[in-house]
Amino acid sequence: MNLNDLIKNIKNKNSFLCIGLDVDLQKIPKHLLELEDPIFTFNKGIIDATHQLAVAYKPNIAFYEAYGTKGWRALEKTINYLNQNHPEIFTIADAKRGDIGNTSSRYAKVFFEDLDFDSVTVTPYMGRDSVEPFLAFENKHTILLTLTSNIGAFDFQTQKINEKELYKIVLETSKSWRNSENLMYVVGATKAEYLKEIRKIVPDSFLLIPGVGAQGGSLVEVCKYGITKDIGLLINSSRGIIYASNGTDFAEAAAIEAEKIQQKMKQILETL
């Protein structure tokens, strides 16, 4: 998907909501466990109920690998279902991969070609040649971990190199990489005040923002510092939406929670 289609969809739906499909068999409704593929059935229910409220879906790959070949198959079915039925949806493989060049190429092929995701999250620690294999794919997007929403972010990401925090060095350095126009960045919403600084370095890039809701970030704060003329934000919510109910009404309950966020987004977009 190219960026213009994503931006158009955000404006059409008055939403920049991304729904995290982090499926845990211990948390989904019990009645689904008797079915042949509970993970896919759950995802399909969530997607059918929320796809008009969200512009992106983000399965975290750990939750699928946790169920071995069955999990991987459920992931394949989920991305195929999205691509076939909702081609306007921006899909994110939250994989946090990164390896030496020829191995990163393998991961890129898995997520961009075989599974046909629009984007994948990548970790920057190994530098340029671990990320550029992902950037080489046209109309595919590489979402680089920059400043994460967990407490461990302060261990290294905010440490200063020549008076400048590592996450800023990552942002600046990444702009010089080949096909850097295919970069987006992960920025944890629990650190909204950092967005001001981040926008000085990447004024236009899309930011994927986890941590609104369960992890405590504020939507209004994030938008205040992070929004651009093309919106430039994807706000992710996972548990607060997909586990709103663990009864047979799980999909409707998810839609109600998604709509609450979408309505707040609509208000924000109307004031721009």
Catalogue the active-site residues.
96
**Is residue 175 close enough to count as binding its own copies by CB under 8 A?**
no
Closest separation in Å from C-beta 239 to its own copies: 9
- Considering the rule CB under 8 A, would residue 118 count as an interface residue with its own copies? no
Nearest-approach distance from CB 218 to its own copies, in angstroms: 19
| C-alpha pair distances (Å), 15 with each of 124, 188, 235 | 29, 19, 9
17, 72, 97, 108, 206 from 105: Cα distances, Å = 29, 19, 11, 5, 23
Q: Does 101 bind its own copies (CB under 8 A)?
A: yes
DSSP states along 233-253: EEEEE-HHHHTS--STTHHHH
Is 92 a binder of its own copies (CB under 8 A)? no
Q: How far is the CB of 73 from its own copies (least distance, A)?
A: 5
Q: Taking contact as CB under 8 A, which single stretch among the options 34-42, 51-59, 150-158, 244-252 is the one that binds its own copies?
A: 150-158
The C-alpha atoms of residue 126 and residue 84 are separated, in whole angstroms, by: 35
Counting contacts by CB under 8 A, is residue 109 touching its own copies?
Answer: yes
- Answer yes or no whether residue 163 interacts with its own copies by CB under 8 A: no
Comparing CB distances to its own copies, the nearer of 129 and 181 is 129
Q: Which of 11, 96, 224, 264 binds its own copies (CB under 8 A)?
A: 96
Per-residue string for binding with its own copies, 67-86, x by CB under 8 A? -xx--xx--x----------
Sign of CA dihedral 228, 234, 236, 242: positive
Q: Which of 11, 44, 46, 12 is nearest to 246 (CA)?
A: 46
| 103 near its own copies (CB under 8 A) | yes
Distance CA 226, CA 197 (A): 10
Q: What is the 3-state secondary structure (H, E, C) of 146-212?
A: EECCCCCHHHHCCCEECCEEHHHHHHHHHCCCCCHHHEEEEECHHHCCHHHHHHHHCCCCCEEECCE
Rule CB under 8 A: say whether 117 interacts with its own copies.
Answer: no
Candidates 2, 33, 87, 129; binder of its own copies (CB under 8 A) is 129
At residue 58, the 3 state secondary structure works out as: strand
Q: Closer to its own copies at the Cβ: 4 or 162?
A: 162
User: CA-to-CA distance for 230 and 10, rounded, in angstroms?
Assistant: 9
Quick check: 153 and 195 in contact, CB under 8 A?
A: no
Task: State which of residues 15, 119, 142, 148 lies at the interface with its own copies (CB under 8 A).
Answer: 148
14 binds its own copies (CB under 8 A): no
CA distances from 78 to 4, 115, 127, 272 (A): 24, 10, 31, 34
Q: Phi, psi at residue 161, to the nearest 5°?
A: -110, 115
Q: Does 97 bind its own copies (CB under 8 A)?
A: yes
Q: Which stretch binds its own copies (CB under 8 A): 41-49, 161-169, 222-230, 251-259?
A: 161-169
Closer to its own copies by Cβ: residue 68 or 138: 68
CB of 25 or CB of 256, closer to its own copies:
25
Selected binder of its own copies within 42, 57, 90, 107 (CB under 8 A): 107
